């Protein structure tokens, strides 16, 4: 699809500065600009590239003052970053717009498929599954028995949705995600072996949730593992059985939540954070990368480290920790001197 500067400006409610007829059919970084491509400038750090970029159209803030001539056509808007994000969303809608059921897809006779859906090659929709309207299911996706999927959901290639899972509207599930596998439940026996505890619950994913590639959300032992509305989960995260993730919480890659952890709403979780099981994290909590959260955390807290504590306390502790080798050396020297004096 090609769009002119005039069309883009009308869509964004912006003002064209330059040739309104110039068109673009791709997007690019401003520092890697190329002809027939659209870029944007929001961070002042990249301002010098505006005067050298080869991009045909650049979106900038309406109050940006030019210091030199530019060759690109400019579109001035109130917020260049959010405007460009809106365009990328529109671009993706065109790029990934697909409908129709492949002849190589399998749909059980008892499954229900909504209007304008897309089912890719070798996707499987099992007995009793219900798929909402405008949902896109890419090749080699498995949708298990009695799964309920809402409207305008995208499930990318290779994702596996086990039985009885419920997924709301406007969700995005990336490749390799597994939703509804058994929780990690085993009872130790007297002979040192383990007996598997049946995981009889399910997983509920509410509206507007995005789950990154190769993440896993386990079904509950009883009841439901729940990801609430608007949560965003990065690649390679592990959500264990009976966990609750609050609405609009953001979780970075390689984070793991042990069973029955309750994570509040509007939290920010850095990468590689580990949560102990059966703890409660409040709302609006910020957790630094690689932290180990082993106990309850109150609303509006900031924690860091392992075990996770207040960031200021952690940095003071770390300042001492770094000096331990030097302190040990000085202690040994002092001990040696004292021994020498005692020997005299």
Among candidate residues 111, 172, 115, 104, the one with its CA nearest the CA of residue 139: 104
**Strand 186-188 relative to strand 194-196, pairing:** antiparallel
Query: Which residues lie across from 202 on neighbouring strands?
Result: 224
Distance CA 240, CA 218 (A): 5
Distance CA 155, CA 97 (A): 13
For 341, how many CA atoms within 13 A lie in the half-sphere containing its CB?
Answer: 6
Given the residues 174, 228, 241, 278, the one annotated as active site: 241
Count the Cβ atoms, other than its own, within 10 Å of residue 27. Answer: 15
To the query of whether residue 241 is one of the catalytic residues in this protein, the response is yes
What residues are annotated to the active site? 241
């Amino acid at each position: 699809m090609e769009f002119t500067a005039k069309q883009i400006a009308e869509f964004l409610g912006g003002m064209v500065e330059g040739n309104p007829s110039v068109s673009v059919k791709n997007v690019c970084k401003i520092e890697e600009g190329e002809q027939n491509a659209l870029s944007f400038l929001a961070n002042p750090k990249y301002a010098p590239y505006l005067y050298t970029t080869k991009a045909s159209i650049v979106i900038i803030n309406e109050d940006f003052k030019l210091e030199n001539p530019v060759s690109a056509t400019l579109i001035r808007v109130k917020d260049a970053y959010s405007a460009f994000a809106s365009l990328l969303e529109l671009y993706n809608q065109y790029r990934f717009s697909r409908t129709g059921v492949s002849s190589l897809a399998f749909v059980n006779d008892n499954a229900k498929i909504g209007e304008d859906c897309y089912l890719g090659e070798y996707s499987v929709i099992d007995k009793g599954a219900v798929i909402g309207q405008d949902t896109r299911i890419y090749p080699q996706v498995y949708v298990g028995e009695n799964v309920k999927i809402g409207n305008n959901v995208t499930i990318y290639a290779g994702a596996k949705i086990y039985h009885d899972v419920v997924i709301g509207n406007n969700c995005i599930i990336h490749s390799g995600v597994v939703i509804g596998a058994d929780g990690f439940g085993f009872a130790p026996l007297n002979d040192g072996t383990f007996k598997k505890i049946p995981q009889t619950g399910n997983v509920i994913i509410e509206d507007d949730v995005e789950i990154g590639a190769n993440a896993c959300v386990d079904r509950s032992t009883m009841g439901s593992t729940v990801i609430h509305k608007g949560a965003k989960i990065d690649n390679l995260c592990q959500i264990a059985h009976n966990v609750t993730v609050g609405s609009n919480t953001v979780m970075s890659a390689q984070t793991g939540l042990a069973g029955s952890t309750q994570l509040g709403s509007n939290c920010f979780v850095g990468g590689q954070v580990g949560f102990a099981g059966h703890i409660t994290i409040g709302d609006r909590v910020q957790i630094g990368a690689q932290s180990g959260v082993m106990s309850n955390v109150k609303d509006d807290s900031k924690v860091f480290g392992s075990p996770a504590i207040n960031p200021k306390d952690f940095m003071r502790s770390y300042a001492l920790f770094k000096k331990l080798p030097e302190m040990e050396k000085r202690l040994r020297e002092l001990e040696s001197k004292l021994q020498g004096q005692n020997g005299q």
